[in-house]
Every structure is written in structure tokens, then in C-alpha cells.
Amino acid sequence: MKILLSPAKKIDISKKLQCEKATIPPFLNEVDILIQHLKKLSPEDISELMKISKDLADLNHQRYQEWKKEGKLGENFTHAAAAFDGEVYRGLDAPSMGIEECERAQKKLIILSGLYGVLRPLDLIPPYRLEMGTKLHISQEIKNLYQFWGTKIANYINQTNEDNILINLASNEYFKAVDKKTLKSKVITPVFKEFKNGKYKVVMVYAKKARGMMARYIIEKNISDIQEIKLFDVAGYSFDIHQSSENEWVFVR
């Protein structure tokens, strides 16, 4: 079983996992190609391309110019699962995982990335910004990151996912990068809803945190039977069979 998560925009390299092991992201050759294109962009280009402020554009321009694809833990690099700082990762709370859980997460968890394609929890990364939806022109034929990654992400999942079960806790923006025609896995997409004003609806800030909490739950419980995911009861959520379908499982509170 594999679990998919989206990254967060913000990265905090002061955090790390309890496990001292570190691995190298699997698609560094592709990262090099993207970085070479990003290095050619001015801060103004980056600001327009990514719809970010001048200060953020200046910061990321500097990052691209000084880019090192590999480094040591603590030297401007940290574990991917600890680096991202957002609601999903507050739910996951990877820095609090024990060593056994970290090793289990390494086998189960895939973080999708615009720059890296896929990241495993122990992969070392520096601060960066490149969202999957960015329309970065690589060539005449490749005009965005979805086209750049093509079938690579789906092929990686096929090669590493022995039981062909995929728990999709990623956003639509990122899951779109997984080529569905190539993917061999059965996909289960959990959806998290809150009871508000007499009806259930998705509240994104809560849904994001719940995605991280469910990823943590699967890792902690070492779940291999997908039916056990329906027992998820963290933070007051419970499985709602009436709102769920075969591939979309709804959890409410």
C-alpha cells in the first residue's frame, strides 16, 4: 500500500525526523533539467510565473542560482517529511515519529512534488518552491510540469507498490500529475467533511489536516488491509458508509 500526499508551499529546514538515516530523491536527473530552466528566469519572471511577491521571487531566484542537488542533514537540507510546513504536515507530525514509524513511512508514503516528482520521507531536500500547476515551458512540446512528468510518477508507483493499493490523500492539483492510464493501482480517495449549518461539507483547512492525520494513522497502525482504514477515528472523525462510494470514502465529524 502506498499513501500519496501533496507538499506544502512553505519549507522549514530547522526540523528533521528522529531517524538519522537519509536517502536521495529518485528523480535527481529530472530535477537538474528543471533547475537549469529555472536558473534562466529573472526575479520578475519568477514573480509572474508563480504569482508570488517580489520578496519571494527574489528569494527563490537566489535559491535556484545557488542550487545544490545533494547535501548533508542540517546543512541547508532536511528530511522531506519534516521540511514541509502546512496543515497536512501538522496532521502528519512526522518529527514526532519514532524510528520504526519513520522506516515504515519510508516504505508507504510518497509526497508528490513539482520539482522532484516524488519524494520519500527520508529524502533530503533544501528549501525550494515549484508548485505542480506552474506553467513552466521546458520545450516546444513540454509547456507545463504535468507534461514534463508525464508517466514517470505513475511508473514509479507501479514499480514500488506491490499490492497495487493507493490511498490518495493528495490535492487535485497534485494527483493530476499521476497518469491514470499508466497507473495499475486501485485508488481510494478519503474525503473529510464537517457538519455545518445542518449539512456536511468539506472545509479545506480541516480537510488538509485530516489528510495528514490519516497518513499518520495508517503508518502508526501499520495497516495493510484497506478495510481497516474505515476505523479511522482521530480528532472525532468516523467513516460514513451512506456518503461513501467504492473509491471515495467519506469521513465526517
Residue recorded with cell 545557488: 66
Task: Give the three cell numbers for residue 43.
Answer: 526575479
Report the number of secondary-structure helices (H) and strands (E) in the chain: 10, 10
With bands split at pLDDT 50, 70 and 90, how would you rate the model's confidence at 22? very high
> Where is 195: in which H helix or E strand?
strand 186-196
Does residue 74 register a pLDDT over 90? no
110-120 pLDDT, tens per residue? 999 999 999 99
Give CA–CA dist 18/15, Å, rounded.
10
Task: Give the three cell numbers for residue 121.
Answer: 520521507
Contacts of residue 88, defined as CB under 8 A and 6 or more positions apart, other chains included, come to: 5, 6, 8, 169, 208, 209, 211, 212
The pLDDT value recorded for residue 129 is: 95
Q: CB of 5 within 8 A of CB of 88?
A: yes
Give CA–CA dist 217/164, Å, rounded.
20
47-59 pLDDT, tens per residue? 999 999 999 999 9
Question: Can you point out the beta strands (E) in 140-185?
Answer: 165-169
With bands split at pLDDT 50, 70 and 90, how would you rate the model's confidence at 102? very high
Domain residue extents for the chain: 2-252
